[in-house]
Amino acid sequence: MELQQIALATCRSLGNYTDNADAEDERLYQFLKEKGLSVSFQVWDDEQVNWERFDAVIIKSPWDYFDKIAAFYKWLDKLEALGCVVLNPVQTLRWNADKIYFKDIQQQGVKVVPTVWLEQERAFDVEHVFEQLQAEKIIVKPRVSGGAKNTFALTKSEAKAKAQIINALLQKEAFLAQPFLNEVKTQGEWSFIFFNGVLSHGVLKTAKSGDFRVQHFYGGTVHTPELPARLLASAQTIVDQFAQNCLYARVDGVELEGELVLMELELIEPFLFLSTSEGAIDRYYEALQANLPQLAL
């Protein structure tokens, strides 16, 4: 019996985004190979790849998509036109690529970080943003972004000093502003990882002293405490509403007054922290099999 061909979509240089991505990607690749699946890494924007020859395309680590968003959308259109089986679904990937999706989520009653939308080619009005957010410090970042790219943590005086830089960036793309949540520094940021809509595991990410970025490639650390039931219930509701038919989903949030406030719903290329929980990679494989029953051996 000829093996089905599975592509793990990645980017040209994972090292540009995290030191640990290679380890997770390689671990998953080797595990799936050991399970008897015919898998290969394919660079998502490599024009030489014949996507039609794959029975499934798993979106694993195209971590530079936000640097090439027009090309990424075009690639998704191509996969859709070819009728490729894509995990996660193309429609979901398009929706999740731009953080304007926050509006959809908020309309459904989900608690999200308050947001002011900074439109492209519009001036960064510091006074207006701080008045709207009622915050002493804010985060400013692109609507299409990842890995803390072009992300600023600013007091009002710092925002005024950086306004020229941010205005230059606004000439190229839209941004958003949110209040700086001190809880990210003092308590950390939760990540709940789901496979096929079912919780697999979760972690608590904390920033290094003096920083606000919890990503491990900025010195953040990862912990595995017991997952708070109330926060988990909120994360499950978000996945049930907005991550249907998804092989994987990661809900990132912070606890405020005992409730989960959503910071990101990661449905494109999240780091899955597979090594932090015993059996996580097995659960990933089982979820893949459920999505693609024709691959069962």
Going by DSSP bridges, is the β-strand pair 116-118/5-10 parallel, antiparallel, or unpaired? unpaired
105 and 208 housed in the same domain: yes
Query: 175-179 and 38-43 as β-strands: parallel, antiparallel, unpaired?
Result: unpaired
* CA proximity to 137, closest of 154, 152, 125: 154
Rounded Cα gap, residues 223 and 245, in angstroms: 28
Q: Give the CATH number of the domain where residue 209 resides.
A: 3.30.470.20
- pLDDT for 220: 59
42 & 141 share domain = no
* pLDDT tens per residue, range 201-211: 999 998 755 45
105 and 170, same structural domain?
A: no
- CATH number (domain holding residue 28): 3.40.50.20
Q: Which letter does DSSP use for residue 105 in this model?
A: H
State the Cα–Cα distance between residues 80 and 141, nearest whole angstrom.
Answer: 30
Q: Residues 87, 15: one domain?
A: yes
Inter-residue contact 287 to 196 (CB < 8 Å): yes
Taking residue 18's Cβ as centre, other Cβ atoms within 10 Å add up to: 18
Domain that holds residue 204: 101-111+183-273
Three-class secondary structure of residue 53 per DSSP: helix
Same domain, 176 and 189: no
Distance of CA 74 to the CA centre of its chain: 20
For every residue of 145-162, DSSP letters joined together read --TTTT-EEEEHHHHHHH
**Contact of 241 with 108, CB cutoff 8 Å:** yes
C-alpha dihedral, 285 to 246 to 223 to 18, nearest 10° = 90
In a domain, 69, yes or no: yes
> What CA–CA distance (Å, rounded) separates 252 from 264?
5
Q: Does the residue 241 lie in any domain?
A: yes
Indicate the pairing of strand 189-195 with strand 248-256. Answer: antiparallel
Do residues 253 and 107 share a domain? yes
Q: Are 51 and 158 members of one domain?
A: no
Dihedral of CA atoms 135, 138, 140, 141 in degrees, nearest 10, equals -110
Q: Say what the pLDDT of residue 218 is.
A: 46
- Residues 106 and 89 placed together within one structural domain of the fold: no
What is the pLDDT, as a whole number, of residue 100?
Answer: 97
Which residues have C-beta within 8 Å of that of residue 108, sequence separation ≥ 6? 241, 242
Phi-psi region of 14 (alpha: psi -120 to 50; beta: other; left: phi over 0): alpha
Q: Looking at residue 224, what is its pLDDT?
A: 85
Number of domains the chain is built from: 3
Give pLDDT, residue 277: 95
Phi, psi torsion values for 254, nearest 5 degrees: -125, 150
Q: Does residue 88 have a cis peptide bond before it, meaning omega lies within 30 degrees of 0?
A: yes
Residues 169 and 207 in one domain: no
Same domain, residue pair 78 and 134: no
**pLDDT 10s digits, 158-179:** 999 999 999 999 999 999 999 9
Residue 278 is assigned to a structural domain of this protein: no
> CA 201 to CA 224: how far, in whole Å?
9
Strand order in the sheet with 189-195: 221-223, 198-206, 189-195, 248-256, 259-266
Is residue 106 domain-shared with residue 238, that is, in the same domain? yes
25, 10 Cβ separation under 8 angstroms: yes
Whether residue 230 contacts residue 255, with contact meaning beta carbons closer than 8 Å, is answered with no
| Per-position pLDDT tens, the chain of length 297 | 467 899 999 999 876 555 555 589 999 999 999 999 999 999 999 999 999 999 999 999 999 999 999 999 999 999 999 999 999 999 999 999 999 999 999 999 999 999 999 999 999 999 999 999 999 999 999 999 887 789 999 999 999 999 999 999 999 999 999 999 988 888 899 999 999 999 999 999 987 554 544 455 444 578 888 999 999 999 999 999 999 999 999 999 999 999 999 999 999 999 999 999 999 999 999 999 998 745 444
Structure tokens at 286: 């089982």
